[in-house]
Amino acid sequence: MLIERLQKENLKSELAESNKVLVIYGARQVGKTTLVRETLRGFPGKILEINADTMPFLDALSSRNLDQLKGLVQGYDLLFIDEAQRVPDIGINLKILHDHLPQLKIIATGSSSLDLANRVKEPLTGRTWTFQLFPISAEEWAGHSGANNFEVGAKLEEWLVYGLYPEVLRIENREKKVRYLQELTQSYLYKDILALANIHYPEKLRQILKLLAWQIGSLVSINELANTLQISRDAVQHYLDLLEKSFVIFRLSGFSRNLRKEMTKMDKIYFYDLGVRNALIENFSSLSTRTDTGQLWENFLISERLKTSNYHFHYAGRFFWRTQTGAELDYIEETGGQLHGFELKWGSKTASAPKTWAETYPTATFHLVNRENFMDFVRLE
């Protein structure tokens, strides 16, 4: 089952219209290689594809030598480097190619921005377009399947339990889905972090991920994590930064324009994929027996909104909102100076804006997102 990715048209457009280096970031196994190959299907020129996880061509590609680089790409119209974070001095070498061979089109993928972003950003300032690829989105699945909202809704339990990694969607047997996710979280998920970052205690990384998995939708205390793991606050912040840059987790900060009443000191942390989250806590039970369905639903909706916003270039500030007295909204967006508040409920059919929200931000909008209308939310309608 090959699902059409929304980033495909974005990449095709830039490939045709600009001569910039295209860089695609995303976690391992989300389909970056497949996306690029599908984008390049029908490309009129000759393509050199290099997988930087393997050794051939790495000497030339990291040489900083124009003659060696020219020799590598001679006769090709497009260079595609997969897992480019493995190439030493990748940014400098791509700059040399871009500046001296402007007719050569270049695409690079990276399963972690830990190293690739730092090594590409400065040398290639003004020479790149960057894209992110996430696990399959509900919008992509619906577009591929031609499903209506009811049919999409019927898939929710499966997505909330097993997530939306491409391989998970291809596997029909539930035991095999679990086996794949366990393998993913035990090896691939940490591969780039451990290889590219200076991690002194890799077991702490796994422990912090498990603690975060239990706390989705809740305020996360850095001090509490540090005390539980018996490491410093700085170490916790470092691990969180690494996990964000390797596309495992993302954060929401508290929104406030009145610091005395509104809580902003702690973030909420969510997972890009719920199958990964459930594998970390080893719970693939059905929703009818779970106590965390509301948390799963909140994580799902916010991550889906993030995917769609990224693919459609919908730029917004993203927050949650909570007061000292307990009033709260799950999700806030600020666009063009306008505030939009969202209450994310698995079961509710009706809801009203918290009184404090309405009084403090009288021009803000309020929306309830539930199982009946969630596709409007994830499609930005």
- 71: which 2 tokens? 């020799």
* Mean pLDDT, range 21-35, rounded to an integer: 93
* Domains 7-132 and 138-321 are alike in CATH topology: no
Report pLDDT for 357.
92
Task: Report residue 13 CA to chain centroid gap.
Answer: 22
* pLDDT tier for residue 165 given thresholds of 50, 70 and 90: very high
Domain coordinates in residue numbering, the chain: 7-132, 138-321
User: pLDDT value at position 121?
Assistant: 62
What architecture (CATH level 2) is domain 138-321?
Orthogonal Bundle (1.10)
pLDDT of residue 176: 97
Paired tokens of 298: 């909140």
pLDDT at 115: 56
**Residue 220 banded pLDDT, cuts 50, 70, 90:** very high
Quick one: pLDDT at residue 146?
A: 80
Options 3.30.1320.10, 3.90.1300.10, 1.10.1660.10, 3.40.50.300; CATH of 7-132: 3.40.50.300
> Which pairs from 293-297 meet CB under 8 Å and 24+ separation?
293/160, 293/346, 294/217, 294/345, 294/346, 295/216, 295/217, 295/218, 296/160, 296/161, 296/216, 297/160, 297/344, 297/345, 297/346
